[in-house]
Structure 1
C-alpha cells in the first residue's frame, strides 16, 4: 500500500458536491473505486462533475482535478475506473493478490470515512482481520479494528470509505463497497479483486501501465512467530517448556508443525518454527494442541515420548483457550450427536442428568430436549468439565464429555453405539487415558441403560417472585418426580428471572418431554407448583405459554394439566405440620370440611380443625375474600393436605360456584375435576365465573424446596 496513490473522490454538480468516496491510483491517471461513489442514485447516471485528488494530504489538501468515468463492470459489480486529468505519476506498480487458505489475514487500507470529516476529509488507516472462510464468497468480510460510532444524525459513519483499496501482505485484494451496521460498525465488506481484475475490459485499461494487466498472486496467512523473550506471556513460555522434550529434533518438529499449520489454513512451504514459534501457534488456536497431539500420538512408538505427551496434555488442560478435542474429533462427534438428537431429542439431557449428576450442567442440558442447533456450544462447554472419579495414578482424568458419550452410547441403537464408543476409545487413547478408567465408565453406563426408567408421575415447578424488580418476573426450578419416588432435577435453582409466559413455556416443554421418555406411554403427569407463603395467591393455572404455531390455539396451563399448588415452607412456621399432614392422609381422606356462614372468623376455623375435623384431609374455603388468605394459612399450618377455594368469590353467597366440582367427593378425583372446569371455563368464557385454586400436598412427600438464586454469570449453571 502506497500512501501516494490514495485518492479522494467527490461527485456532484458544478455547484454542489453530493458524494464523497475513496480510491486508489492503479495506473497513470487511472483510479480504482466503487461505482456507487460516481453515480446519482436517483437516476443511476454518473455525476456530471467528478473531481479527484491523488496523494496523502499529510496535513494539507491535495489539489482536485477533473475526472471522468472510464469503465464500470458490465455485470453490475460495484466497481469502476475513473480517468483523472493531470494526475501525478507514481513510480512502481501495483501488486495484486488473492487470499487463500482458511486462516485469517491481516488487512489494511486508506480511505476517507465520514467520521473523520471536519473542515476537510482526513484519511483513516483501516486495519483489521480478513477471515477468508466468512461470508458467501461474493464479498470479503473485513473485521475492522478501530471503528467509528454511528453519527448522532443517523448518517453512516463509514460513508466515504467506499472505494478504499484493501491490501494483504502488500497486495491489493479487494475494494470496500459497504459496511454492516448489525456488527456495530466493526465489519466492512469488500469486492474481491479476483471478481474483476481479470475481466478483459478492466485489464485493457491497464495494458500499457508499468505493471501491465493484473497478475493475481495467492496470498496465504503465515503462521505467527514468537516475539522477544522478555515480551512473551508466561503461559506461552510454560507451554514452550513442555513442548521441548517432544520436539527437540528440528525435523520432527517441522514435520508436525507444517501438517498442523496447513490444517489451520496457513502457508507452510517454508515454515520451520522454533519451539517458541510452535507454542505461539498452539496458543493462537484452541484446537491446535489437541490436533497436534493426535498426529504425534499416531507416530510415536517410544514409551517415554508417550509419557511426555500425556504429561503435556494433563498440564495444559487447565489453561484458558485450550480445547479438549482436535478439529477432527470435534467435527466427528458433532456429526454423531446430530443423529442422536434427531432420533432421540430427550436422550442427551437424560443421560447427562445421570452421567454428570454432580456437575453443573451447561444451560442447554437443563432443557427437556436438545436440538442439533444447540450442539456446537454444548460440546464446547462440556469440554471444560472433568470427571471427578478416581483414575489409575499417573493418567489423566476421564473428561466429563467422554463419560457422557458412553452413557449416550449405552442407550442408543447398536450401530450408533459402536460408532460412539469407537470415537470415545480413539479420543481416550490420544489423551493418554487408562483403558481401565474408560471401561469403568462404560460399565456404569450400561448398568444405567439396563435399569427400567420410572414413569414421571409429577412435574414440579418451584416459583419465587423476583423482588429486585417491579416487573412480574419469577425465579423457577423444575424437577421430575417418578412413580417410584425418584426425583430428577431438570432445571437448577440458579436461574434468570422469567415472565409468566416464559415460565409457562418451560413447564410445557418439560411436560412434553416427559411424554416422550421410555416407560411414560400415554400418562400425562401431574403439575405441582411449589410456592412460598407470599405466592399462594398466584393464579399459575391461568398462565399461558406463547403460542408455538398458528394451528393450535393457546390455552392456559390449568386447562391442559392437573395444576395444583404446594407450600412446604409452611412447616417452618409449625414443625409438627408434617406429622399432622400424614395423620390426616391416613385417617381422613374421605372427610371434608366445607366452611359455611357459621364459621365467621379465624378462631372458629381453628376450633373446627382441632376438634371435630382433627383428621379431615380436605377443606373447601368459602367465605369473605378478606379472610381467605388468613384462613388458608391456618389450614396449611394445621396440616390440611387438600384445600380448595374460588379466587373469584367475594363472600359465602358465591359458594355455589364450586358445587359442580363436587368438592366433598373423593379427593383423588378432585384435581382432574378442577382441570375439566378450568378447560370448560377457558373454552366458554362467561358461562362459569369460578376460578378454583387447589392446594394438594402429596401424602406428605412434597419435594423440599431449595433456595432460588440469580445466576452468577461467572459460573456454569443448571439455569432453567
Structure 2
C-alpha cells in the first residue's frame, strides 16, 4: 500500500546537537538543500535562550554544534548547516517576544545544508567520504483548514511518534491545536516539525510550542512574504513555497464579481485599494488610479484578514439589498474561518488584553470564565488566552441563531467586567460589527441574557481529593488540591505513603477551614473526590471530618460533594462529554431502570446530560459504567441497599429536575438526611472535561 505520508516523511528534517542522540526539534525541506524550522529550536541547540533575538551566525558561517538529519531520505547521516535566514520571535507590536507571552510572530529560521555528512549511525563526528544530498521534492505548502485533523512527528521523525492534531482555529500568527483523539500528544521536541494535511497532501504549519494540553503551530502558506517583510536575510527564490494555485484562482474569481459590481469607477477602485492597504497595516500606498479589480483581489488574498477587510469596504459601497447579500455570501464562501476585518480584530484584542500593564482589561473575566456563562453549546476554550479564543470562536459555525458566538462571548465579557469604560467600549465594538453583519436586532437578546447572568450563582472554591486505597485497609495515599473562585491554585500537596483515614480527614479539615474566610458570601464550596472504578460506592460524603457531640461536621452536609472517575471516561467520547457539559442548561435528566440506547446518541439537540439509576443492584454497576463511558456528566444512584423504598425516593428527587439542578438537589437531600435515609445513601458523579488532576509527566519519545 502506498504511504499517504511519504511526501512529508522524506522532507522531514531532524535537528540535533552534536554528541546528543535526542533530537531537539524538527524542520521541513522547502528546497533540496534548505530547511525551514523554528528560530527557538536553533537557539536551544546552540545553548542560547529560546527567544534570543540576535542572529547567531553570518550567512557564510557553519552553525557550530548543530547538525541536520533527513531520516526519511538519508537516515544514516547528519549534515552541517549554515543560517540562510533569521526571523526571531516577536510581539505583534514589533517588540521582542518574552517568556510568558501568550503568542508571538515570526520564530522562523532557514538553514542551508552542507553536502558532506559529518557523522554516521554511530554518532561519531568523523567526516565521511563525500556523499551528495538526496534529490527530494519539497512538499506542497497550503493553508490550515479549521476543524480538520493534521499529523505531526517528533523532531527525530520516528514513525511511531505520529500525533493527530485537530485545528481549532487560526489566529493572526498561530494555528491552535488539540489532540483529543491521539494517544500521543504534542510534547517538547515536536517544535519545528511540519504539520501535515494528509487529505490535501500539504504542509500547513510548523509546530511552535504548547501550553498545558494545547499546542500551537506557525502557518506557512505565506511564510516567505512574512520573512521578506521582517527577516534578517534574503529569502531564496528557489525556496518560495509551492502552493495549490487552483484554489487561489477560484477565490479571485469569486471576489471579482462583487468587486466589479460595486467598484465601478477608477476613483472607487483607487480609494478602496488605498483603504485596504492602510487597514491591513501595510507600508506605503496603493497603486492609485492604476488599481484594478484583480490587484485588489490579489492583495486581499495575500494578507491575513484581507478578505473580510476587503468585503467590508465593498459592503459599504453597495446600493441594492441584492448586492449586499451577494457581498455577505461571498465573504462566507471565501473566508469561512474569519469574519472580522483587520481593524476590528486589532480593536477587539486591544480591548480584551489591553496595551498597557495597568489597562482596564485586567478587570475582564478570562475567556474560559466568560465562555462558562455564554457558551453552553459552544466550543471549549480550555487553556486558551484571548487571541487564540477569538480565533476559535471566529471560525466556529453555530447550528443555532444568526449572531456569531464571538459576539455573544463579548457581550458576556462586557457584562462581567468591573471597568465601566471597557464595558461601554466592548458593547460599542459589538454594535458596529453587528450592524455590518446585519444582526443588530438579534444581538439585543444576547445582551439582555448577559445582563441577566449577573444574578447567576456565585462562583465558589473547589477542593479536589484524589484517593488511592492501600489494599483492603482504611489507609489512603492522596493528593489534596484547592482552587479559588477564579481558578487559581491555593493549595497542592501529595501524600505518597498511605496514612489512616483519620490523618487524611485531619488535613482536609485544616484545608477546609483555611478556604472558608476567602469564600464569597453565599458561595457553596465543592469537594471533588477522584476515585478508581472500584471505589465509586465510597461514602466519602458521609465522612465526619470534625467530631462534635452536638454538631458533627459531615462533608456532604457542609459542602457540595461529588465523585469524579476520569478512568471510566472513554477517549472516543471525549468530544461528546464536552458537548454535554456545555449543554447542561438545555439537556435532559433521565431515569434508567435498564440500558437505554438514547444515552449513547451523539450530538443530540437536547442531549442526555444526567441520569438517575433506579435499577436493581445487580444492574447498577453495568449501567453506571455505560453512562460514564459515553460522556454523561451527571450520574446519581443510591448505594447498594436492601431497602426498596430508596428507589422511589430517588425517583422523587430526580423527577422534573434539569441536569444542572442535580448537584444542588443531592446536597439538599444530604442536609436533611436522617440516619438510613436516602440522603445518607446518595452517590453522585459530577464529572466534566476540565479541571482534571495533572497526570504524571512522561518523558518525551525517544528518537
- TM-score range (shorter-chain normalised) is 0.3 to 0.5
Structure 2 length normalisation: TM-score?
A: 0.39
Structure 1 length normalisation: TM-score?
A: 0.39
Structure 1 or 2, whichever has the larger Rg, is 1
